[in-house]
Structure 1
Amino acid sequence: MKKIMFVASEAVPFIKTGGLADVVGALPKCFDKEYFDVRVIIPKYQCMKEEFKNQLQYVAHFYMDIGYRNEYVGILELEYEGIHFYFIDNEYYFSGYRPYGDIRFDLEKFAFFSKAALSILPVIDFKPDIIHCHDWQTGLIPVYLKDQFQLGDFYREIKSVITIHNLRFQGTWDVKTVREITGLPDYFFTPDKLEAYKDANYLKGGIVFADAITTVSNTYAEEIKTEFYGEKLDGLLRARANSLRGIVNGIDYDEYNPATDPYITKTYDAKTFRKEKVKNKTALQRDLGLETDPKKMMIGVVSRLTDQKGFDLVSYIMDELCQDQVQIVILGTGEEHYENMFRHFAWKYNGKVSANIYYDEAMSHRIYASSDAFLMPSLFEPCGLSQLMSLRYGTLPIVRETGGLKDTVEPYNEFENSGTGFSFKNFNAHEMLATIRYAEKVYYDKKREWNKMVDRAMARDYSWNSSAKQYEEMYNWLIGY
C-alpha cells in the first residue's frame, strides 16, 4: 500500500477561494483504494462552516519551534467521503475572516503550516511515501524536508511533489524577514535555492527541492518554460524540465451533471439535449429580462473579471458583437472597470446583455446549461475548469489556444467533421470576434453540424478518473515501482 499525503491551503467542501480547493477535495477520492492510501492536511480556519467545525475530532497537540517562536500545534481529524482529513489548529494564524489576507502575515502563517504539516506525521502515525504539495503556500515543505527533518530516520525516505496551479502567485518577501520567519539557515537564501531577484520566494524553494513538479495541463507545462509565461522562473523550470509534467485537472462529474443537476430548470443528457436543453435557455431569458427567443444564440461567461481572463479583448469588440443576433450572459466579479463595462453594455443593449456582477453557484450551473456557446478568451490559463463544465453541459467553448484551453477544446474542422468547440490563436480582439462570428454562422446555418459537435463535447471524459491514473503513474515512478 502506497501512502500519499496531500498538503494544501484549501479543499472543498471545507474552504474554497478557487480551483485549487476543487482539486484537493476531489482528486484524493479517485485513487485506487486497493493500492493507495491518500490523506489530506489543511489548516483549521475559523471561517470554515460551523457544520464541519462541529464534526472535527481532537487528536493531539504539541508545541513547535519555528524561527524565534514557539507555537501551539493542534491536530483535529474528520473522515469525509472515505478520505482522512487532518486539520492543523492555531488560533493566532487561522482565525481571520478569510483564508488569505495580508501577504506578509500569510508568509508567516504558511511557514508555520508547512512545518506543522511535517511535524504532525509521527503523531498521527502516518509515514507517507510521498508528500504532495500545492502552490506557494506549501512550497517550504520540500525545503524543510531537506533541512531540519533529515536528522530523524522517520523522514529520510519521504519524497515530495509540488503542483503549480498558477505560476503567477509565488509567495515572495525580503530575505531577512523570511529567514526570521522560517528559521532556515543562511545557505538556503542563494540564487540556486530560495532567493530570486533579491527576494525570498516560497514557490521557487518548492520547485528547487521537490522530487517532481507537476502543473495542471501539458501546454501550460511547456508554456511556463518560456519567458512570456514563466513569471521570471522560466530558467529554473527549463533546468528542471526532466522532473516537470502536465496533468490536466478534472471536474466532479456527479456535481456537474446535466442529467441530475438540481439547479437547472430542465435536466437533459446526450440523448435528450436536442429537445430539452433549450428549455433552460428560455427560462433563463425570462428570469434575466432578456428577449425570450429559443432560437437566438446565447453566449455565456462565468469568470473572475480580470485581465488574465481576456476581458480587455471583450471590451474592445463588445459594441460590434452586440450588433449580431446573439445574447450575452455574464456572471462574476473582479476588477471594477470590467464590472462597470458589463453593466454599461447591459444598460445600452437592454434585452440582449445580462450583467450579473456577483457569484452564485446555482446561477453558474444555469448558465452552463442554458448557453449555446461559452466564451473564455484567456491571456493565460494553467488549466481552466469552466470550459470542462461547459463541455459537460453540451455548451460549446470559444477559447484562446493557451494552457489547458488548448489541451481540452478541439477546434471545429468543417472538412473533417471534428471538434468540440472553437478556438483562436493570437491574443487579438478581432481574431476573437471572427471566431465568435464563425461559431454564429455554424449555429444558424449548419444546425446539424452544431448538434453533432454537442454530441462529441458531451461524450468527452474530463472526470477526475483519467487524471488520477496519471498521478498514480507518477507516484509509482517516484517511489520506484
Structure 2
Amino acid sequence: MRVLLAASEATPFAKTGGLADVASGLSKALAAIGHEVTLVLPHYRQVIKPGLIGELVGKVTIPVGEKRVEAEIRSTTLPGSTVRVLLIDQPDYFDRAGLYVEKGHDYTDNAERFIFFSRAVLEAARQLDLQPDVIHANDWQTGIIPAMLASEYRLQPWFQKTASVFTIHNMAFQGRYPWWEYKLSGLRWELFNWRQLEFYGELNLLKAGIAMSEIVTTVSPTYAREICRPEFGYGLDPALQTRGDALIGILNGVDTTEWNSAIDPALPLRYTVDTVREGKAACKAALQREMGLPVKPEAMVLGLVSRLTDQKGLGLIASRAADMFRADVQFVCLGSGEARYETWLQELKTQFPNKVGATIGFNEGLAHRIEAGSDAFLMPSQFEPCGLNQMYSLAYGTPPIVSNVGGLADSVVDCSPESIGNGTGNGFKFSQFTADAFLNCVWRAVGVFQHDKAAWNRLIRNGMTRDWSWARSAAEYVKVYNNARSRVK
C-alpha cells in the first residue's frame, strides 16, 4: 500500500510534542512491514543539519488566497528506515525560530502557513506522481487536507481512489481562526458551514479533518470515547458523535530502538525481564546517588517525568506530598512548566532533603534513568489522549500509578488478586480525579511493594512482557487504511 503521511513535525527533523514521535514511529513501522511510505513535513530551520536537508526534487507554486507562493520540494530518508521524507521548503513560512510559537506567542499567520503546507502536500504528491492509496493527516495543521482531497483533488486522476485518514492527537488544539482566513484555502464557500469547516462563525481546521476524512482516528480507544462527551470534546463532541464507526482509537506505540532497557546506553546497568531484579537494583542505587538522596534499597522510589501543569496532575501530587512522605518513600522528578510548581518542587526539596530529588528542565538521559531506577512511576493526569511515559515505565519494569483516563486506561491494568492471577495486572489506577483518590492509590502501591514482593514482581513481569512497539499499532492502522479505502466511491 502507498501511504502518504502528512504532519507538522517528526523526529529527528523537528519536535515540540508527541506528534513528532508518532509521525516517525508509525512511518518506520509501516515501512518495516512492506508498505511504501512517504512522510511530508515543512522544512523548518531546525532541519538544516547534516544528513537531513535533502536534495531538490521539484518545485511547486501554491495559490494562497490571491497570492502565488513558490516552494521547493526536498527529498531525504527517515534515519534508520526506508521511509522517504519530502520537505516543503518555503523560507518565509518556515525559516523561523519556532514551529508554531515564538517567545510565548503564536505566529499570527499560522493559518496561512499551514493552509499553504496542506495544499503543498497534495501538489507535491501530484507533481512527483506518488498516487497514494491513503493520505494520513494529523492534527489541525493538516486538518484541511481531507477537505481539499474530497472537494478538489479526487477529481484528478492521481487521487481518484485516494482515501484520507485523520488523526487527532489532542482535542484542545483546534486551529481556530477568523472566517476570512478561509479564503486562503481556495475551497468553495459551500464547505464553510456548520457541518463541515465552520465553528461558531470561525474557521476550525481540526473540524475540517473530522468532518471530511473517510476515517477519524485518535491515539487511544478510551480517548476516542471520551472526546464524544462535552467534558473532553472542546465543543466538537457533536461533530465527533456523527462519525459513528468511522471514529476509531488506536493506542500509540513505543520506539523500541530508543526505549529498551536491554540496550539503553543511558543506564548504568542494562537488563531484560530475566535480569530485571539485578538491573533495577543497580539503576535505583545510581539514581538515588544522582539525585542526591540516601541510597536505601528498602525505600520505594516514586518517579515523575512531566510537564509541571495541572493537566498532568501536579496539583494532586502537591496537595498530598507530605502525606506520601509518612511512608518510606522517595520522590524523584524531572520537568518544567508552571512557575508555581517549579517553585513548589524546590521548596519541597528543601523541606524533605532525604526524600526529594528534583531537576527543573529536561535531560533525555536522566529521563531514561528515572524510568529504570524508580520503583513506580506517577502519572495522575486530568486527561491523557495516549501518554507514552506509562508505556516506557511498563517496558522498563516500573509499575505506573495513573488516573483512569485516555491511553492510561487502555495500557494500565489495575493490580488486584484477579489481575495478578490472570497475568494482566501491571500497575495501579484511580478513577476520581481527587487528591484523596490519588493518595489512596499510592498507598495501595506502597502496600504491595513493601508487603507482597511476589505480586510486585508479577506486575513487573506483566508490564515487560507485553508488546508496546509500533509494530502492534501499525497493524491496526493498516486495517484502518483498508477500511478508509473501501469508503471511497
TM-score normalised per structure 2: 0.95
Q: Are 1:267 and 2:270 an aligned pair? A: yes
CA apart distance, 1:476 = 1.7
Distance 1:461 1:53, change over 3 A: closer
Matches within 5 A, 1:279-290: 279-290=282-293
CA apart distance, 1:103 = 4.6
CA apart distance, 1:33 = 5.5
The corresponding residue for 2:186 is 183
Secondary structure at the counterpart of residue 450 of structure 2: helix
Whole-angstrom distance in 1 between the partners of 2:161 and 2:343: 54
Q: Which moved more, 1:398-407 or 1:311-320?
A: 311-320
The corresponding residue for 1:45 is 44
Matches within 5 A, 1:336-375: 336-375=339-378
Unaligned runs of 5+ in 2: none
Pairing partner for 1:64 from 43, 62, 65: 62
Residue type of the alignment partner of 1:88 = I
Superposed CA RMSD in Å reads 1.5
State the Cα deviation string for residues 307-354 of structure 1 (Å, max 9, x = none): 211111111112212222111111111111121121211111112111
Whole-angstrom distance in 2 between the partners of 1:146 and 1:415: 49
- The answer to whether the 8 A contact 2:2-2:131 is kept is yes
Whole-angstrom distance in 1 between the partners of 2:419 and 2:6: 45
Secondary structure at the counterpart of residue 423 of structure 1: strand
Residue type of the alignment partner of 1:219 = T
Residue type of the alignment partner of 2:76 = L
Residue type of the alignment partner of 1:287 = E
Whole-angstrom distance in 2 between the partners of 1:425 and 1:4: 38
Pairing partner for 1:141 from 137, 145, 150: 145
The corresponding residue for 2:326 is 323
Whole-angstrom distance in 2 between the partners of 1:343 and 1:49: 37
The corresponding residue for 2:84 is 84
Q: Are 1:445 and 2:455 an aligned pair? A: no
The corresponding residue for 1:13 is 12
- The answer to whether the 8 A contact 1:381-1:403 is kept is yes
Residue type of the alignment partner of 1:335 = E
- The answer to whether the 8 A contact 1:104-1:173 is kept is no
Whole-angstrom distance in 1 between the partners of 2:226 and 2:33: 36
Whole-angstrom distance in 2 between the partners of 1:464 and 1:19: 14
Whole-angstrom distance in 2 between the partners of 1:260 and 1:324: 34
State the Cα deviation string for residues 367-415 of structure 1 (Å, max 9, x = none): 0000000000011111100000000000000000001000000000135
- The answer to whether the 8 A contact 2:162-2:485 is kept is no
Whole-angstrom distance in 2 between the partners of 1:246 and 1:83: 24
CA apart distance, 1:416 = 5.1
State the Cα deviation string for residues 278-320 of structure 1 (Å, max 9, x = none): 1111111112111111221000001111221111111111221
CA apart distance, 1:155 = 2.4
CA apart distance, 1:197 = 1.9
Whole-angstrom distance in 1 between the partners of 2:57 and 2:66: 26
Secondary structure at the counterpart of residue 454 of structure 1: helix
Secondary structure at the counterpart of residue 267 of structure 1: coil
Q: Which moved more, 1:414-423 or 1:115-124?
A: 414-423
The corresponding residue for 1:93 is 93
Secondary structure at the counterpart of residue 249 of structure 1: coil
- The answer to whether the 8 A contact 1:67-1:184 is kept is no
- The answer to whether the 8 A contact 2:31-2:37 is kept is no
State the Cα deviation string for residues 65-105 of structure 1 (Å, max 9, x = none): 12111101210001232110100000000011121112532
Q: Are 1:410 and 2:413 an aligned pair? A: yes
State the Cα deviation string for residues 401-449 of structure 1 (Å, max 9, x = none): 0010000000001355241000000101111101101100111111121
Q: Which moved more, 1:319-328 or 1:164-173?
A: 319-328
- The answer to whether the 8 A contact 1:223-1:230 is kept is yes
State the Cα deviation string for residues 160-190 of structure 1 (Å, max 9, x = none): 11000111100001112x1233233322222
Q: Are 1:74 and 2:72 an aligned pair? A: yes
Secondary structure at the counterpart of residue 363 of structure 1: helix
The corresponding residue for 2:170 is 166
Pairing partner for 2:230 from 208, 227, 230: 227
Whole-angstrom distance in 2 between the partners of 1:49 and 1:57: 12
Whole-angstrom distance in 1 between the partners of 2:234 and 2:226: 11
Residue type of the alignment partner of 1:381 = E
Matches within 5 A, 1:196-275: 196-275=199-278
Q: Which moved more, 1:250-259 or 1:408-417?
A: 408-417
- The answer to whether the 8 A contact 2:165-2:484 is kept is no
Distance 1:186 1:451, change over 3 A: same
The corresponding residue for 1:382 is 385
Secondary structure at the counterpart of residue 31 of structure 1: helix
Whole-angstrom distance in 2 between the partners of 1:180 and 1:36: 36
State the Cα deviation string for residues 169-214 of structure 1 (Å, max 9, x = none): 00001112x1233233322222111111222100001111001000
- The answer to whether the 8 A contact 2:60-2:120 is kept is no
Q: Which moved more, 1:19-28 or 1:96-105?
A: 96-105
Pairing partner for 2:297 from 291, 294, 299: 294
Distance 1:148 1:66, change over 3 A: farther
Secondary structure at the counterpart of residue 229 of structure 1: helix
Q: Which moved more, 1:469-478 or 1:431-440?
A: 469-478
Whole-angstrom distance in 1 between the partners of 2:257 and 2:161: 37
Q: Are 1:433 and 2:433 an aligned pair? A: no
The corresponding residue for 2:108 is 104
CA apart distance, 1:452 = 1.5
Residue type of the alignment partner of 2:245 = N
- The answer to whether the 8 A contact 1:286-1:292 is kept is yes
